[in-house]
């Protein structure tokens, strides 16, 4: 069920991309350090919702590889 919810959230995030300037890694990585922190994710409610599921290694940041799941 958790997986299904995550899948749906990812789909919503992907399909709602038109509502944002861009749903791509660089647009979320505000400081350009190559990782999206929870703080940087705050700009997108959907991303906040699925952040913990995307953070596969649980380090509190999304790497490019982890974020790629939403694209
Ligand atoms: Ca960053
Ligand atoms: Ca991570």
Neighbours of ion ligand 1 (CB under 5 A): 29, 31, 33
Structural domain spans, the chain: 2-70
Indicate the pTM of the whole model: 0.69
Residue 53: predicted pLDDT: 96
| Residue numbers of the chain with a pLDDT score lower than 70 | 1-2, 4, 6-8, 10-23, 71
Residue 18: predicted pLDDT: 47
Residue 69: predicted pLDDT: 87
Q: Which listed ligand is nearest to 35 at the C-alpha?
A: 1
Ligand 2 centre to CA of 70 (Å) is: 14
Residue 41: predicted pLDDT: 96
Q: Which CATH superfamily is domain 2-70 in?
A: EF-hand (1.10.238.10)
Phi, psi at 62, each rounded to 5°? -100, 120
Residue 52: predicted pLDDT: 97
Q: Residue written as tokens 């994710």?
A: 41
């Amino acid at each position: 069920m958790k997986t299904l919810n995550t899948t749906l959230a990812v789909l919503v995030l992907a399909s709602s991309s038109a509502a944002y300037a861009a749903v791509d890694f660089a647009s979320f990585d505000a400081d350009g350090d190559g990782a999206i922190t929870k703080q940087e994710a705050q700009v997108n409610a959907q991303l906040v919702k699925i952040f913990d599921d995307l953070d596969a290694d649980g380090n509190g940041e999304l790497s490019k590889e982890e974020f790629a799941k939403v694209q």
